[in-house]
Amino acid sequence: MERLNDYAERVLEIVELIPPGKVMPYGDIAEYLGEGGPRQVGRVLSLWGGGVPWWRVPRADGSPPVGHEVECLARWREEGTPLRGDRADMRLARWDGRTR
């Protein structure tokens, strides 16, 4: 297993800040940090994301992470995340990182 590095720590810190009922896609996290990209953020979450609210990080189209759809949708419903079918409603649920 890879070692947790500074970039990974920053990604996980941002994910922990996403408020309940909001989401921030992989690419937005990378843009917020000013480095990496969606794949790098996804890699961090696949290795170390179990201890943070990973379900608040959907794909850019609002769909849940592949392989975690059922649990993710259940958590979104529990938190009151705005949905459009089985996806997060990105217009209403997207968090910009500035407000809590």
Q: Is there a contact between 78 and 44 (Cβ–Cβ < 8 Å)? A: no
Predicted pLDDT of residue 98: 84
How many whole angstroms separate alpha carbon 96 and alpha carbon 72?
20
* Cβ 81 vs Cβ 21: under 8 Å: yes
**Number of C-beta neighbours around residue 1 at 10 A:** 5
Q: What is the pLDDT of residues 62-98, one digit of tens each?
A: 999 999 999 999 999 999 999 999 999 999 999 999 8
From the list 29, 58, 50, the residue with the least C-alpha distance to 41 is 29
pTM assigned to the model = 0.93
